[in-house]
């Protein structure tokens, strides 16, 4: 549990450092290019942990204690006295186009980072799970569409998908503002081709409290693994009780066991409770009593008996996918993925605003840190993909028309372009107060959702 926390914290801080650095450097670089004097470039807020003064303009470079953001402080007559010979270098005295470019530069830098990260991933190859459908519950939308066990999704509304991640993103995207069924091409278990017409709406996808795909009746296919002991972990309760490699567990506490998943379903909730096992060894039935040891997993205590199964390689090879492209094609795919994820994020935000998406979809720093740790533990490809997604989300969030964010400043500039004069300081102060309230409320909601997820 502690090691998971440490991995998540380190992965989160590294990702946050990269994202904030790139965003603020965008503002900094363009400000310098248009002749604005930069006073401070800070990563983080609060008490400085490290600082130094640069050779150009005596700019102060700071790393501060609170890593949840950063800022670039520029020379500005509205924030302090400006010497006469430096007035032309103050932010407020620059033409509208220059100020607009400076504000846009941060989000644009994050979009460029997302494209670069996706490009790296597309060239390296990213591993994933093949979009093969598991058991389809009766009465679900998937069942009505004619989905069957081991259907492999090939395309959704003519958009090719390679992994479950592709399928999820594409299906959510296609479901927004759609009324007619979505055509889905599948490869059947026998190798044939078929088309399913899945009835799905953005309401069913975005208001679902649980996984919307399970609500539709779509789940990942998992190969059936026999409950045969393949190996023991160190200090295994099963080995201590007398089980041996090759034993097939056929019953637990009188319940028949046909595969390893059924065994796990009995063992996990039985930490510290003795379980009577019936096993077959070389054609002979033997009885053993094993007490699962308690282990912490994702904040929950589960029972483990310390065995792993023999996995059928062919089945698991079928489930694993690695998608990889040459550099030029990878760049095109990266730009397309950035565009797709940006439009999907904007659509999700619009649905949240009008109440057509559950507010449970909003995640805060705790959930993001957990996702960072999970992606880092899976592999560098997934971690880079995570950074791309968060960078893109940060860009979109900053462009929202909320005072204090870059998008709020752009709204002021749009008003200035129409009225030919800057927005009054009184209105800007009022807007800043409104922005604090809105962002504070959003942060409280995000933390509330995070805490709720951890408690569940």
243 alpha-carbon distance from chain centroid: 41
pLDDT tens digits, the chain, 456 residues: what are they?
446 677 778 888 898 899 999 999 999 999 999 999 999 999 988 899 999 999 999 999 999 988 878 999 999 988 888 898 999 999 999 999 999 999 999 999 999 999 999 999 999 988 888 999 988 989 888 999 999 998 999 999 999 999 988 888 888 888 877 778 999 999 998 889 999 999 886 555 555 555 667 778 888 888 878 889 989 988 899 999 999 999 999 999 989 998 888 898 899 999 889 999 999 998 899 999 999 998 876 556 789 999 988 776 666 777 888 888 999 999 999 999 999 889 888 887 777 776 665 666 666 666 777 777 778 777 888 899 999 999 999 999 899 888 888 999 999 999 999 999 988 888 888 888 887 887 777 777 766 666 766 665
CB 205 within 8 Å of CB 172: yes
**CATH class given for the domain over 229-307:** mainly beta
Pairing between strand 307-309 and 229-232? antiparallel
Q: What is the Cα–Cα distance from 336 to 346, expressed in whole angstroms?
A: 15
Note the pLDDT of residue 208: 52
Of 24, 174, 207, 239, the active-site residue reads: 24
SS3 50: strand
DSSP code at position 100: H
Q: What distances in angstroms separate CA 100 from CA 78, 128, 202, 399, 430, one per listed residue?
A: 17, 40, 35, 12, 21
Angle at 102 between CA 105 and CA 411, to 5 degrees: 95
Task: Tell me which of 3.40.640.10, 2.30.42.10, 3.40.50.2300, 3.40.20.10 is the CATH number of domain 127-222+312-323.
Answer: 2.30.42.10
Q: What is the Cα–Cα distance from 360 to 358, expressed in whole angstroms?
A: 5
Pairing between strand 229-232 and 193-198? unpaired
Which residues contact residue 2 at a Cβ distance below 8 angstroms, ignoring those fewer than 6 apart?
A: none
Report domain extents, the chain.
97-125+324-456, 127-222+312-323, 229-307
Torsion sign across C-alpha atoms 237, 454, 361, 335: negative
Note the pLDDT of residue 453: 61
Note the pLDDT of residue 203: 53
Which tokens sit at 121?
């991933």
Q: What is the Cα–Cα distance from 249 to 228, expressed in whole angstroms?
A: 6
The H or E element containing residue 442 is helix 425-455
CA count, 13 A, side-chain hemisphere, 399: 20
Note the pLDDT of residue 12: 85
Q: What is the Cα–Cα distance from 358 to 415, expressed in whole angstroms?
A: 33
Q: Which residues of 119-142 are buried (b: 16+ CB within 10 A; e: fewer)?
A: bbbbbbebebebbbbbebeeeebb
Q: What is the Cα–Cα distance from 237 to 310, expressed in whole angstroms?
A: 18
CB 271 within 8 Å of CB 293: yes
Q: Do domains 127-222+312-323 and 229-307 have the same CATH topology?
A: yes
CB 133 within 8 Å of CB 214: no
Active site annotation includes 280: no
Q: What is the Cα–Cα distance from 449 to 443, expressed in whole angstroms?
A: 10
Name the one residue in this structure whose structure tokens are 């079928």.
318
Neighbours of 63 (CB within 10 A): 15
pTM, full prediction: 0.77
Can you list the alpha helix ranges (DSSP code H) found in 34-95? none
Note the pLDDT of residue 309: 85
Nearest CA-CA partner of 80 in 90, 71, 70, 68: 90
Note the pLDDT of residue 205: 59
């Amino acid at each position: 549990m502690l090691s998971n926390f440490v991995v998540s914290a380190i992965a989160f801080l590294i990702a946050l450092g990269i994202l904030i650095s790139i965003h603020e450097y965008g503002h900094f670089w363009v400000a310098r290019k248009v002749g604005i004097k930069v006073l401070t470039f800070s990563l983080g807020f609060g008490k400085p942990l490290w600082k130094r003064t640069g050779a150009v303009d005596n700019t102060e470079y700071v790393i501060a204690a609170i890593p949840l953001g950063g800022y670039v402080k520029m020379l500005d007559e509205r924030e302090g006295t400006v010497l006469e010979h430096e007035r032309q270098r103050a932010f407020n005295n620059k033409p509208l186009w220059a100020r607009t470019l400076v504000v846009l530069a941060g989000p644009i830098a994050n979009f460029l980072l997302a494209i670069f990260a996706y490009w790296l991933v597309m060239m390296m190859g990213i591993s994933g799970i093949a979009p093969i459908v598991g058991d389809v519950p009766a009465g679900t939308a998937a069942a009505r569409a004619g989905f069957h066990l081991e259907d492999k999704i090939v395309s959704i509304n003519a958009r090719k998908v390679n992994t479950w991640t592709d399928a999820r993103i594409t299906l959510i995207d296609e479901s927004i503002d759609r009324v007619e069924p979505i055509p889905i091409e599948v490869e059947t278990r026998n190798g044939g081709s078929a088309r399913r017409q899945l009835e799905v709406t953005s309401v069913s996808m975005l208001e679902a409290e649980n996984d919307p795909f399970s609500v539709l009746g779509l789940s990942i296919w998992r190969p059936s693994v026999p409950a045969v002991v393949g190996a023991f972990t160190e200090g295994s309760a099963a080995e201590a009780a007398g089980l041996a490699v090759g034993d097939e567990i056929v019953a637990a506490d009188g319940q028949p066991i046909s595969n390893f998943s059924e065994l796990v379903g009995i063992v996990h909730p039985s930490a510290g409770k003795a379980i009577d096992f019936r096993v077959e060894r070389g054609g002979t039935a033997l009885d053993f009593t094993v007490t699962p040891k308690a282990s912490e997993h994702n904040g929950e205590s589960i029972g483990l008996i310390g065995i792993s199964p023999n996995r059928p390689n062919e089945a698991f090879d079928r489930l694993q996918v690695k998608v990889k492209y040459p550099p030029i094609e990878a760049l095109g795919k990266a730009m397309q993925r950035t565009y797709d994820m940006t439009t999907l994020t904007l659509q999700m935000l619009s649905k949240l605003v009008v109440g057509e998406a559950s507010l449970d979809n909003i995640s805060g720093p705790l959930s993001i840190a957990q996702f960072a740790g999970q992606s880092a533990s899976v592999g560098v490809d997934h971690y880079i993909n995570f950074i791309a997604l968060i960078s893109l989300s940060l860009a979109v969030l900053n462009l929202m028309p909320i005072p204090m964010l870059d998008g709020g400043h752009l709204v002021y500039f749009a008003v200035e372009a129409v009225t030919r004069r800057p927005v009054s300081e009184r209105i800007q102060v009022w807007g800043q107060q409104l922005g604090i309230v809105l962002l504070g409320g959003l942060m409280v909601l995000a933390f509330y959702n995070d805490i709720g997820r951890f408690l569940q």
